[in-house]
Amino acid sequence: MMFISLGQFNIPVAWLAFILAILYSDFRSRKVGVATNKLLEHLVFTYILVWKFSYILFSLSDFIKAPLSLVYFDGGLKGHVLALVALAFILYRKRQILVWADIWIYWARVVTIFSVISLGFQEHWLYAVIWLLVLVLVERKYQHGLLLGQFLLLAWLNGFTSSLTLVQLFVLLTVYLKTKQAQYLVVTGILSLVAMMLVDVEKATETIAHEMIDLPTTTGEMYSLSEQEQKLTVVNFFATWCPPCKAEMPHLQSFAEDLPAGVALIGVNLTDRDNGEQALVNFMETYEVTYPILLDESDEVGTAFRVMSIPTTVLLNAQGEELERLVGPVSEEVLRQLIKKHQTYLEE
């Protein structure tokens, strides 16, 4: 997942792109189809609020331990399901005021702006320019043919099986088949897509070799990664003063208490960037940390792993090669999904 670092906070690029796309579509549609646009805006932000605050419902114990975690985490898959139930209820109640022509141009704008911003941050400038040209066409004279063009472009860039491409296909079917049942179905699909877009999962898995970790622990022992028998190691770089680091600690501890076979979890305290030994002792006591915490006193390992923003979590294979990197706070659910994604390493 790509993040933008603002001070101590890490903002997912997908979130930023989505919010800006919604704001742009609202601004451009403010004079046309007011009732439908108001409803769409209400649906989107209801979805986000229910999905976000459902974290309290589904992770109450973690929230109580670290209330700040609400800033960084959400209700996950269960939160998405709960949000969809809420939206289905609203759609049913407001079905009489929906104007489908307004919905499609709103959707075309959201897809286009989201793609421009996302590709721009990934520095895929050619693709971003192509989407800008699509935006010009949308604004000059919207036609249903533009939805077909967007679908072909999405299929070319993301593949036919990506969530965004599939929902665009459903949109096309709805527009051209003109069945009311299909129209309600596709709106639900679009709202489901909101969840998938915000996740912004990286497709490619790239291995990056690093020096093997060899550091002292808080108990005075030496920890050498090369001497361990694990097939996958989750390495979490953190500091005690970092708010998102505090927010993710209950999740890391829960993960540590039920580690999958063949998986190890270690924390690396960037001691050279932190507030001293006593701060770390208090930190570990507060969050009841039981997994190994290593001390990077000279910042050698942090520098070798190019840790520019904290927290940063890295997944290593048995050879110490980097398989995945997550910048920003991680939840227990995300860690388990990450291990599942690389399950083949555990089966070797």
Q: Which fold has domain 208-346?
A: Glutaredoxin (3.40.30)
pLDDT (average), residues 118-122 = 83
Domain ranges of the chain: 3-199, 208-346
Give tens-digit pLDDT for 261-298: 999 999 999 998 888 889 999 999 999 999 999 999 88
Q: What are the CA-CA distances from residue 74 to residues 240, 245, 326 (Å)?
A: 23, 16, 16
Report the share of the chain in percent with pLDDT over 90.
21
* pLDDT classification of 47: cutoffs 50, 70, 90: confident
pLDDT of 182 above 60: no
pLDDT of 200 above 50: no
User: What does the pLDDT read at residue 203?
Assistant: 38
pLDDT (average), residues 144-153 = 81
Query: Using an 8 Å Cβ cutoff, are 36 and 44 in contact?
Result: no
Question: Distance between CA 46 and CA 88 in Å, rounded?
Answer: 11
pLDDT (average), residues 333-340 = 91
* pLDDT classification of 179: cutoffs 50, 70, 90: low
pLDDT of 97 above 80: no
User: What does the pLDDT read at residue 40?
Assistant: 74
| Torsion, Cα of 268, 299, 232, 229 (10° steps) | -90
pLDDT (average), residues 187-205 = 48
Return mean pLDDT, the chain. Answer: 79
User: What does the pLDDT read at residue 201?
Assistant: 38
Task: Locate all alpha helices (DSSP H) within the chain, ordered by sequence.
Answer: 13-28, 34-58, 60-65, 69-72, 76-93, 100-121, 125-140, 144-158, 163-177, 180-199, 243-256, 277-286, 300-304, 332-341, 343-346
Give tens-digit pLDDT for 2-25: 556 555 555 667 778 878 887 888
- For every residue of 13-47, DSSP letters joined together read HHHHHHHHHHHHHHHHTTTS-HHHHHHHHHHHHHH
